[in-house]
Structure 1
Amino acid sequence: MEISELRALLTPDGLELLDSLGPVEQVGDVARSVSQLRAAGHSPDLVSAVVGQARLRAKATGKFGDFAARMLFTRAGLEQATRLGVAARHAQRLRQAGITHVSDLGCGIGGDSLAFAGAGLDVLAVDADEVTAAIAAYNLAPFGEDATVLHGTAEDHVPAGGVATQAIWMDPARRTSGHSETSRVSSSDYSPPLDWAFDVASRIPAGIKLGPGHDRDALPADAEAQWVSADGSVVELVVWTGSLAREGVRRAALVVRGERSHELTAGADADDAPVRDLGAFLHEPDGAVIRARLIGDVARTLDAGMLDERIAYLTSDAALTSPFVQSFRVRETMPANPKAISAVLKAHGIGTLEIKKRGMDIDPAAFRKKLTLRGDQAATLILTRVGDQRRAILADRVPAPE
């Protein structure tokens, strides 16, 4: 979004027009809406802004739920924003640590700040991009004086420190600047610079949001590293310092599914469980557990071992499961070739098949076309390596625990 479009939108008439348009969900809806608004005599800048925002609001529902209907976005800002349910858990941690004021340095469209202000914290939100800062100000306006938004750099708005109830939240930009098409940059080109962010965090309690695949060896040794997954996808790594880092915790995996969350914590990487033969159950650890290297701790709660030392599958004979894994009851195993698999699928009357793979260079969609699927039964096919063999495991999902 350009500044001219934002100015056209941030008027009573512009916002009323946006609210009256409703969500624009399909590509065809975009062209139709543009034509209708232009025919009604609205300016090109206003039409572009209104239709663009309606499209983004529809996309934002997955991250912000009903709140999306009253928010403004940039395309890049929405892509990089924290999901509101995850941000709410960050806000809860700040509250539990006794924090009352947080400086969100690099606030983007204000997703994290929304959660902080909603939790009753006083928020100072800062962003270096003029358009993005203006959008954050609009999104945070319902909180009045409890949320202040400034256009400026993180480096120029670091609090003095020394106040026990004050903390910093940073989400360094990991992509090139812009409001729509952006590309990833290396950690040396983050904004603000990551070395600077870690230095500030060594002096002031902080949470620093990073990509989940960030180099573990580059993390501060005295910080808590928390990997977060939401509904099956690992979405972020947060580095917590000072009073926001929990005593004795250096590795954590937070698993969020819908309204529920579960967390596994440890003082260090867990030792892996020994390798064992395939048992009655196969368990796929959540991605956050894998990133945090806490697979061994999960294995021991399930009385399970590794299926292969190089691949993150666990196996056991005990009828146990956990919020930190997806569990499957094994039906049958076979060589991982389409002919052998199709014969087994036919014998079981499998017509609906979920395909999962790990440790094998296979495109599940392409592999599915090689299989014969007939019948009214459903199952899961797991393709993996066991030692030097390529194996296929036919299994049934075990319901996740509440």
Structure 2
Amino acid sequence: MAFTHEEVAFLAAHTDDIAAATADLTFSRASLLEDAAALRARFGDFGRAVAELAQARRSAGANGKFPADWVTDLDAAQQATPQVVAAQRAARLRRVLGGDALVHDVTCSVGTEGASISGAYLGSDLDPVRLAMARHNLGPGAWLVRADATRPVSRGVDAVIADPARRAGGRRITHPDQLLPPLPELLDAWCGTELAVKCAPGLDFSEWEGLVSLVSVDGGVKEACLYTPGLSEGTRREALIITGGHVDRLSDALPDEVGAGDPGRYLIDPDGAVVRAGLVRHYAAREGLWMLDERIAYLTGDTIPAGRSGFPIEEIVPLKKLKAALAGRDIGSLEILVRGVDVDPDALRKKLRLRGTRAGAVVCTRIGTQGVAIVCGPREHKN
């Protein structure tokens, strides 16, 4: 639920008390009613807002989105960008535009992007309560104004950042012109200005003329960002793989002359950002890997790339013979990966009825015209 101005003012003025009062609360499904009642007893009419803030802080903190003392509601916390991702965007803007560039964040919400911008920053949003939270989070000197993202209130800015809503009616939006506000309206409103537009990773970016940057954090794909050509640094597709704070950048500037061949020692499942960016071949060429099938985004090779994981290949069998192939291997727990074939991992796990003591993995995929199961040992990590 959204906060009122009075609730934001109370939350901002009592951050220490709220932290102390909620430190031992779990907000689990079993304790939620009891925790909420305890906060109402302590904070009166503001108890509901305190409970939502505490849950939002835990959610955002676990995902590296906000400092611990920020004020945010649950909706803002769910859509907000992790700080490590916002920092990479800010770094690109500094590289391309210079450190003193003026950046206008036209959907600033509670201020996530502003915390990473080192130059001049203007934040605007239609929601006055979100602006009140942003003023607390960014400090009283922050330059903030209420405005519609598609009705410019600034002139001469060096770049615009936008984060349109990615859901409507509880469903994910699947095309850029269905974003809220729609991408075409943003482009028209800011014609002639460089843009960085955050989007959900699964959108159709085929018609975008600038850079599409896919970003993952610790194995999970977090967002796509569309950059206009002036911010692209000469590339069209990019994957940023952020693991434990380390950033690995892969772009279509790398060679992609990789074909398919016989299985190597390991099967490698590329990071989701690499797959969604369409850079599987570029990644394979860089790491000395090759494909099992030129249409499927699994790779193979004799070593695991540094910082990644892979599966030691033991046997490749037709899908129908998987149960027989697993017999006698004493496998009781199985990691199942599926790509390119119609297999439900949960249904397959039940069908196999594993009873052993060893861990293993199976990759259900397609090589040529045949659906196959690649029986592997457990996942191995390489530092």
Report TM bin, short chain: 0.7 to 0.9
Q: What one-letter code is carried by the residue in structure 2 that aligns with 1:103?
A: H
Instruction: State the match for 1:140 in structure 2.
Output: 138
SS at match of 2:64: helix
Alignment of 1:49-128 (within 5 A): 49-64=49-64, 67-97=66-96, 98-100=98-100, 101-116=102-117, 120-128=118-126
Deviations 1:213-236 (A, max 9, x none): 2222221x2x22211122222222
Alignment of 1:318-397 (within 5 A): 318-321=302-305, 326-337=309-320, 340-396=321-377
Alignment of 1:170-185 (within 5 A): 170-176=162-168, 182-185=170-173
Instruction: State the match for 1:228 in structure 2.
Output: 215
SS at match of 1:10: helix
Within the candidate set 144, 148, 153, 1:149 is matched to 144
Note if contact 1:108-1:127 (Cα within 8 Å) is conserved in structure 2.
Answer: yes
The count of residues paired between Structure 1 and Structure 2 equals 377
Q: Structure 1: how far apart are the matches of 2:41 and 2:161?
A: 45
**41 and 395 in structure 1: CA distance in 2 versus 1, 3 angstrom threshold:** closer
**272 and 322 in structure 1: CA distance in 2 versus 1, 3 angstrom threshold:** farther
Note if contact 1:336-1:391 (Cα within 8 Å) is conserved in structure 2.
Answer: yes
Note if contact 1:226-1:238 (Cα within 8 Å) is conserved in structure 2.
Answer: yes
**158 and 174 in structure 1: CA distance in 2 versus 1, 3 angstrom threshold:** farther
Note if contact 1:345-1:372 (Cα within 8 Å) is conserved in structure 2.
Answer: no
Note if contact 2:122-2:144 (Cα within 8 Å) is conserved in structure 1.
Answer: yes
Q: Structure 2: how far apart are the matches of 1:37 and 1:216?
A: 45
Q: What one-letter code is carried by the residue in structure 1 that aligns with 2:221?
A: V
Note if contact 1:224-1:239 (Cα within 8 Å) is conserved in structure 2.
Answer: yes
Q: Quick check: 1:210 aligned with 2:199?
A: yes
Deviations 1:350-378 (A, max 9, x none): 23321111112222123212224344432
Note if contact 1:175-1:184 (Cα within 8 Å) is conserved in structure 2.
Answer: yes
Alignment of 1:156-167 (within 5 A): 156-161=151-156, 166-167=158-159
Q: Structure 2: how far apart are the matches of 1:396 and 1:25?
A: 38
**184 and 313 in structure 1: CA distance in 2 versus 1, 3 angstrom threshold:** closer
- Quote how far apart the aligned CAs of 1:108 are: 2.0
**240 and 37 in structure 1: CA distance in 2 versus 1, 3 angstrom threshold:** closer
Across the aligned residues of Structure 1 and Structure 2, the Cα RMSD in angstroms comes to: 2.8
More helix by share: 1
| TM-score calculated relative to the size of structure 1 | 0.83
Q: What one-letter code is carried by the residue in structure 1 that aligns with 2:162?
A: M
- Quote how far apart the aligned CAs of 1:127 are: 0.9
Note if contact 1:25-1:59 (Cα within 8 Å) is conserved in structure 2.
Answer: no
**244 and 14 in structure 1: CA distance in 2 versus 1, 3 angstrom threshold:** same
Q: Quick check: 1:42 aligned with 2:40?
A: no
Q: Which moved more, 1:90-99 or 1:77-86?
A: 90-99
Instruction: State the match for 1:129 in structure 2.
Output: 127
- Quote how far apart the aligned CAs of 1:382 are: 1.0
Q: Structure 2: how far apart are the matches of 1:208 and 1:39?
A: 43
Deviations 1:95-130 (A, max 9, x none): 2231423111111222222222xxx32221111122
Q: What one-letter code is carried by the residue in structure 2 that aligns with 1:25?
A: F
Q: What one-letter code is carried by the residue in structure 2 that aligns with 1:204?
A: T
Instruction: State the match for 1:8 in structure 2.
Output: 7
- Quote how far apart the aligned CAs of 1:49 are: 0.7
Q: What 5-or-longer segments of structure 2 have no aligned partner?
A: none
**380 and 158 in structure 1: CA distance in 2 versus 1, 3 angstrom threshold:** farther
Note if contact 1:346-1:374 (Cα within 8 Å) is conserved in structure 2.
Answer: no
Note if contact 1:332-1:395 (Cα within 8 Å) is conserved in structure 2.
Answer: yes
SS at match of 1:7: helix
Q: What one-letter code is carried by the residue in structure 1 that aligns with 2:295?
A: R
Deviations 1:264-294 (A, max 9, x none): 11249x7573332333322222222222222
Q: Quick check: 1:261 aligned with 2:247?
A: yes
Q: Structure 2: how far apart are the matches of 1:361 and 1:169?
A: 39
Q: Structure 2: how far apart are the matches of 1:381 and 1:310?
A: 19
SS at match of 1:311: coil
Deviations 1:317-371 (A, max 9, x none): x335255x6432211222324xx43444343332332111111222212321222
SS at match of 1:216: coil
Q: What one-letter code is carried by the residue in structure 2 that aligns with 1:336?
A: L
| TM-score calculated relative to the size of structure 2 | 0.87
SS at match of 1:328: strand
Instruction: State the match for 2:181 in structure 1.
Output: 192
Q: Structure 1: how far apart are the matches of 2:128 and 2:73?
A: 12
Note if contact 1:326-1:397 (Cα within 8 Å) is conserved in structure 2.
Answer: no
Instruction: State the match for 2:30 in structure 1.
Output: 28
Note if contact 1:9-1:50 (Cα within 8 Å) is conserved in structure 2.
Answer: no
- Quote how far apart the aligned CAs of 1:256 are: 1.1
